[in-house]
Structure 1
Amino acid sequence: MHTDVFLHISKTGGTSLSFPLRRIYGFWKTHHIGNQDHDGVRPTSYCALSESEKERIRLIKGHVFYGLHEYCPGGSRYFTLLRNPVERVASFHRMLKKEWPTTKVAQMSLHEYLRQDHYTRNGQVRRVAGVPPEKGKCTKTTLDRAMENLQSHFAAAGLTERFDESLVLMKRRLGWSQYPYYVTSRVGKGKRSDGQKDGRGKTEMKAETRAIIEEQNALDVEFYRYVRERFEEAVEAEERFEEDVSRFKKRNRWFAPMAAVPLWLYRKSRRLLYLLRS
């Protein structure tokens, strides 16, 4: 038996996918790794499980780095979502403003936030390459490693901007028996960031701000371009793919309103428990 690993890169849509994955793989066969549950690449909470418990787990998910498969019994397959680096960094800033509104960072504009170096640059390359910040600088070698890992060990790599298509591709590549019906989490919705409106859509980001993000995340920009090309090639090679995506969208429009309130309550209660424990 193999273990699937969902490498959740922050602000790429992974939270929306979290509940569907538990439903597909089974709540008791899914192991979530939180930010405090790993020491670099080593998943401490997972490693603490007995061998029989590890064999029971069919899916590991969380903000992990590539390399976790070394601790899994049997084979393993990765899958992930990636996002345009400019949109991802802006979304991360919006999340900070909403989730931690009293912090100094939350009071900054996006432009100020970028200048203060408050985030991990080229975070998508680092995750897929398996190189956390404490392991050293992110270089062209890191990018090459990320590309190699993606080719060799990832069953699917989707795009946030093409979310529904990505989920259908994952269903096919990973052999899911059911569609991953979801409710959008929209964690950062409703808070102003540079060049954006409060919950009423986005305006064009300032060219200067966009240029700063692209410069700071040049390796992520190149990696995203590479992943997007591979994604388009994969979709083009699939038979009756557009028909499958259309079917999924129609069914999800029926599912989402019914699941929205229960999921909202679940996420709020989970957030409350997290605050109480911290």
Structure 2
Amino acid sequence: MKNKEILIHLHMPKTAGTTLKYIIGKNIDRNSNFHVYKADPERDAILKQLTKKNVACIQGHFPFGVHHYFSSPSTYITMLREPAERIISEYYFIRSIRTHDQFEKVMNMSLEEYHNQNEHMNLQTRLISGYLGDQLTTAHLEQAKQHIENYFSVVGLTEMFDQSLYLMKKFFNWQTIDYRKQNITKNKPQIHQLPKKTIESIKENNQLDNELYHFSKLRLLKQLNSFFR
């Protein structure tokens, strides 16, 4: 990464992104490291204000496209997670946090009801493609893949977290990648403890995310292999 590039951390929910955010905070001056965890239109207003500041890094739950606000060059990073594991973690995480803005709503839902809502399907493809409409298609999956190839220095995987960090350290010349796990979902059952029918249904609803995950895994492995040659 060039020194003047803005690092954009597209913080994918429940993928170890909070731990990554903590690591980034140890390597980038906090005065130029900005967190943007608001929905539009407030997010739009915040990003417009940031164009007037000295920005080295932006982190938050936002879709692809933040780089359009800035004239300086930028690069993205994110973490992806096996889709069923991510959704299960997200569901139980929200139910464990009374201050979460979705707590009351999700407490009145079963896991089946939660994962069958359109807004919770293929979230990883949705955010990386930048498409926030109702129905995702394979065209949006292809758009997400193109964004990864053209704009993302590293797309890490929760299941390969240490290897992903190693790659980021190499790309961005980070001084330290020591960490303690942050924001862990408590009282979450293991995936094998849930009904097989439920897991199959989640996977069926998230086929685009599953393909994006495996696409990103192959890319990550190729990048890692290039450093070990």
TM norm structure 2: 0.89
Task: Tell me by how many angstroms 1:202 deviates.
Answer: 5.9
Preserved CA contact (<8 Å) 1:155 1:174? no
Task: Tell me by how many angstroms 1:119 deviates.
Answer: 4.2
Per the alignment, residue 34 of structure 1 pairs with 37
- Distance in 1 of aligned mates of 2:137 and 2:71: 31
Task: Tell me by how many angstroms 1:238 deviates.
Answer: 1.3
Q: CA RMSD in A?
A: 2.1
User: Which of these residues, 179, 183, 186, is aligned with residue 189 of structure 1?
Assistant: 186
Percentage of pairs with the same residue: 29
> Judging changes above 3 Å, is the alpha-carbon distance between structure 1 residues 119 and 108 closer, same or farther for their aligned structure 2 residues?
same
Q: Does 1:127 align with 2:127?
A: yes
Q: Does 1:229 align with 2:218?
A: yes
User: Which of these residues, 176, 188, 197, is aligned with residue 208 of structure 1?
Assistant: 197
How do residues 25-174 of structure 1 correspond to structure 2 at under 5 angstroms? Answer: 25-36=28-39, 38-39=40-41, 43-49=44-50, 51=52, 53=53, 56-100=54-98, 103-115=104-116, 117=117, 119-132=119-132, 135-174=133-172
Gaps of 5+ in 1: 241-278
- Distance in 2 of aligned mates of 1:90 and 1:73: 39
> Judging changes above 3 Å, is the alpha-carbon distance between structure 1 residues 118 and 143 closer, same or farther for their aligned structure 2 residues?
closer
* SS at 1:64 equivalent: coil
Q: Which protein shows a greater Rg?
A: 1
Preserved CA contact (<8 Å) 1:155 1:173? yes
- Distance in 1 of aligned mates of 2:65 and 2:109: 35
Preserved CA contact (<8 Å) 2:91 2:111? yes
- Distance in 1 of aligned mates of 2:217 and 2:160: 10
TM norm structure 1: 0.74
> Judging changes above 3 Å, is the alpha-carbon distance between structure 1 residues 20 and 213 closer, same or farther for their aligned structure 2 residues?
same
- Distance in 2 of aligned mates of 1:205 and 1:61: 33
Task: Tell me by how many angstroms 1:232 deviates.
Answer: 1.5
Gaps of 5+ in 2: none
